[in-house]
Structure 1
Amino acid sequence: VLIGLALASVLQRARVRGLGFFRTVVFLPQVVAMVVVAVAWRHIYAPDGPLNDVLRAVGLDGVARGWLGDYTFALPAVGVIGTWFETGLVTVLLLAGMSRIPRERYEAARLDGAGPFAEFFAVVLPAVRGEIAVAVTLTVIAALRTFDLVYITTSGGPGNSTSVPSYEVYHRAFELGQVGSAAAIGVCLTVLIFVITLGVNRLADRSTA
């Protein structure tokens, strides 16, 4: 969400020509099936993949590793994929909110001597709190219910280092035969998503009241 907010702010403030094209580019991951995304990133993260090739080319051989097979870096590596996938949606959502801010507010802030950062916190941030709440809700739900990304890239490994709730439901139900515990996790996950959604929406309503 923070990356999307920063990117949307830069694009909106710079008033880049062809903004529609940039919106299309950043939103592109959303129209690609997660299975395709996961396979592509699995290739990028492979020990002989493009990422390690670049690191070796710039003399960082010691940094190169099998990212998805490393206990320390597997979860952050999967997190990077999820962040890349969701950033476009968040950016487009926030850009839509920022485009509705009247120019008079920007002009008034500048007449008061506000710089870019003061303008952002005084004008932009209060105006897009509703969109931020929606973005937070969508990204949290996406993170909690991610299954195909984890299944294709790491299958919950190494060990259980990348096992997320939705994958744990599958693992217990179909691999361990523990249908009862899988159902319990599924119910808890549903309740958790509902509570988070309700909480974020309540906070957004209070901040805009």
Structure 2
Amino acid sequence: MPLATYKDLCVDAVDAHRLGAFWAAALGLELERHDDGDARLVGPTPQHAIWVNTVPEPVTVKQRVHLDVNAGAVDDLLALGATVVDLESFPWRVLRDPEGGELCMFEVEEPSSYRLYEVVVDAVDHHAQAAWWAGVLGGTVGSKDGPNGAWSWVEGIPGAPFGYLVFGTVPEPKTVKNRIHWDLESSDIPGLVAQGAGILREPDDVIRWTIMVDPEGNEFCVFAPEPG
């Protein structure tokens, strides 16, 4: 049995309303601007939600977590405020969002109304990371070594509004807090710790969730399941 269920995504932003508008249009979600400066993107289920949270730190290094999206053409995302990084080296296109965060675009002839394809995470050991997260969330693990890198992934995660959680090997270590993370629901914090997760912060008077890290230090938040 999985230890947790997928809840939603979170994205850090210096200007949450601006970045939220970009991602809402890119992914096919609705934008809610909040009075505190944060934003939320909403879709057909609660799991489609993406919280865009204001932080003071700008992007300074390559993101270890990024989103892959489907689109009809690169120009569709450039018109929304994306900029080009690399259009030639891979089967996909590498871009940056308006705050400099990396994203990858996969060209499809007829994009659907909702366009988040997968969530991609840099890893030291992509096999171990995929197996760990499959144990936490459920799903099936796959793996591939090819000319564009070595990858493992989890597909069929119950409730996740994207096809794959992908881990790819990179040489550089993690140095800063991830600007993209996911939230879970679980009543088994001890079980997560027993499997190798770490606790960064427990619930207190300010937050009602537990901030944790996976075995490679990627942050995620765990909420107690809603009553009923």
When normalised by structure 1's length, the TM-score is: 0.22
The structure richer in helix per residue is 1
Kindly name which structure, 1 or 2, has the bigger radius of gyration based on alpha carbons: 1
The structure richer in strand per residue is 2
When normalised by structure 2's length, the TM-score is: 0.21
